[in-house]
Amino acid sequence: MIIKWISMKRLIGTLVIALVFISSAFAQEVKPKFEKQNDLVKATYYYDNGAIKEVGFFKENKLHSQWITYNEVGEKITVAEYDMGKKVGKWYVIADDTVKELTYESNKLVKVEDTKETELKFI
Protein backbone atom coordinates (compact mmCIF):
# COMPACT_ATOMS: atom_id res chain seq x y z
CA MET A 1 0.00 0.00 0.00
CA ILE A 2 2.84 2.39 0.87
CA ILE A 3 4.55 1.62 -2.44
CA LYS A 4 1.35 2.45 -4.36
CA TRP A 5 1.08 5.71 -2.39
CA ILE A 6 4.67 6.64 -3.27
CA SER A 7 4.04 5.74 -6.93
CA MET A 8 0.87 7.86 -6.91
CA LYS A 9 2.82 10.78 -5.43
CA ARG A 10 5.43 10.44 -8.20
CA LEU A 11 2.70 10.28 -10.80
CA ILE A 12 1.03 13.38 -9.43
CA GLY A 13 4.42 15.10 -9.44
CA THR A 14 4.89 14.14 -13.09
CA LEU A 15 1.45 15.52 -13.94
CA VAL A 16 2.21 18.77 -12.13
CA ILE A 17 5.38 19.08 -14.19
CA ALA A 18 3.37 18.45 -17.37
CA LEU A 19 0.92 21.20 -16.37
CA VAL A 20 3.84 23.56 -15.74
CA PHE A 21 5.01 22.81 -19.28
CA ILE A 22 1.56 23.69 -20.58
CA SER A 23 1.39 26.95 -18.66
CA SER A 24 5.00 27.88 -19.44
CA ALA A 25 4.32 27.36 -23.13
CA PHE A 26 2.58 30.73 -23.13
CA ALA A 27 5.79 32.46 -21.94
CA GLN A 28 8.16 30.90 -24.44
CA GLU A 29 10.21 32.85 -26.93
CA VAL A 30 9.17 30.89 -30.03
CA LYS A 31 5.59 31.90 -30.77
CA PRO A 32 2.94 29.19 -30.75
CA LYS A 33 1.08 28.41 -33.97
CA PHE A 34 -2.73 28.28 -34.10
CA GLU A 35 -4.67 26.80 -37.02
CA LYS A 36 -8.43 26.69 -37.39
CA GLN A 37 -9.69 23.21 -38.31
CA ASN A 38 -13.49 23.14 -38.60
CA ASP A 39 -14.82 23.87 -35.09
CA LEU A 40 -11.42 23.25 -33.46
CA VAL A 41 -8.23 25.27 -33.17
CA LYS A 42 -5.03 23.25 -33.42
CA ALA A 43 -2.31 24.65 -31.18
CA THR A 44 1.39 23.88 -31.56
CA TYR A 45 3.84 25.10 -28.92
CA TYR A 46 7.61 25.08 -29.36
CA TYR A 47 10.78 24.89 -27.31
CA ASP A 48 13.20 27.80 -27.66
CA ASN A 49 15.27 25.63 -30.02
CA GLY A 50 12.27 25.35 -32.40
CA ALA A 51 11.42 21.72 -31.57
CA ILE A 52 7.75 20.95 -31.00
CA LYS A 53 6.88 20.94 -27.32
CA GLU A 54 3.15 20.27 -27.42
CA VAL A 55 0.34 19.80 -29.92
CA GLY A 56 -3.36 19.78 -29.13
CA PHE A 57 -6.75 21.25 -29.84
CA PHE A 58 -9.05 23.84 -28.34
CA LYS A 59 -12.81 23.96 -28.71
CA GLU A 60 -14.59 27.03 -27.43
CA ASN A 61 -11.34 28.06 -25.69
CA LYS A 62 -11.15 24.78 -23.75
CA LEU A 63 -8.66 21.94 -24.12
CA HIS A 64 -10.31 19.33 -26.32
CA SER A 65 -9.39 16.05 -27.98
CA GLN A 66 -5.84 14.70 -27.93
CA TRP A 67 -2.86 16.64 -26.54
CA ILE A 68 0.68 15.32 -27.01
CA THR A 69 3.74 16.61 -25.17
CA TYR A 70 7.26 15.97 -26.48
CA ASN A 71 10.68 16.25 -24.91
CA GLU A 72 13.34 18.44 -26.53
CA VAL A 73 14.54 15.62 -28.79
CA GLY A 74 11.07 14.96 -30.20
CA GLU A 75 10.02 11.88 -28.21
CA LYS A 76 6.48 11.70 -26.87
CA ILE A 77 6.36 12.01 -23.11
CA THR A 78 2.64 12.51 -22.52
CA VAL A 79 -0.51 11.70 -24.48
CA ALA A 80 -3.67 13.11 -22.94
CA GLU A 81 -7.37 13.34 -23.82
CA TYR A 82 -9.73 16.19 -23.01
CA ASP A 83 -13.43 16.74 -23.55
CA MET A 84 -14.30 20.43 -23.34
CA GLY A 85 -11.62 21.09 -20.73
CA LYS A 86 -12.20 17.91 -18.71
CA LYS A 87 -9.72 15.06 -18.47
CA VAL A 88 -11.18 11.88 -19.98
CA GLY A 89 -10.17 8.46 -21.22
CA LYS A 90 -6.69 7.00 -21.29
CA TRP A 91 -3.64 9.15 -20.65
CA TYR A 92 -0.09 7.90 -21.10
CA VAL A 93 2.85 9.37 -19.20
CA ILE A 94 6.49 8.32 -19.15
CA ALA A 95 7.65 8.08 -15.53
CA ASP A 96 10.75 6.37 -14.18
CA ASP A 97 11.52 4.55 -17.47
CA THR A 98 8.00 3.08 -17.63
CA VAL A 99 4.80 4.20 -19.25
CA LYS A 100 1.94 4.83 -16.86
CA GLU A 101 -1.59 4.45 -18.20
CA LEU A 102 -4.00 6.73 -16.37
CA THR A 103 -7.74 6.43 -16.77
CA TYR A 104 -9.93 9.48 -16.24
CA GLU A 105 -13.71 9.58 -15.95
CA SER A 106 -15.52 12.90 -15.59
CA ASN A 107 -12.27 14.73 -14.85
CA LYS A 108 -11.32 12.30 -12.05
CA LEU A 109 -8.42 9.88 -11.99
CA VAL A 110 -9.91 6.41 -11.49
CA LYS A 111 -7.08 4.04 -12.39
CA VAL A 112 -3.29 3.98 -12.75
CA GLU A 113 -1.43 1.09 -14.35
CA ASP A 114 2.03 0.35 -15.70
CA THR A 115 2.05 -0.69 -19.34
CA LYS A 116 4.49 -3.13 -20.91
CA GLU A 117 5.83 -0.35 -23.11
CA THR A 118 8.71 1.90 -22.11
CA GLU A 119 8.07 4.58 -24.76
CA LEU A 120 5.01 6.22 -26.25
CA LYS A 121 5.80 5.15 -29.82
CA PHE A 122 2.82 2.80 -29.77
CA ILE A 123 0.41 5.74 -29.71
The domain segmentation of the chain, as residue ranges, is 2-114
- Give percent of the chain with pLDDT exceeding 90: 63
Please enumerate in sequence order all residues whose Cβ is within 8 A of that of 111, keeping only pairs 6 or more positions apart, or say none: 101, 102, 103
Average model confidence (pLDDT) across the chain: 84
pTM over 0.85: no
Cα angle: 95, vertex 96, 100; to 5 degrees: 35
Residue 46: pLDDT over 50: yes
**Confidence grade of residue 49 (pLDDT, cut at 50, 70, 90):** very high
Residue 5 has pLDDT above 90, yes or no: no
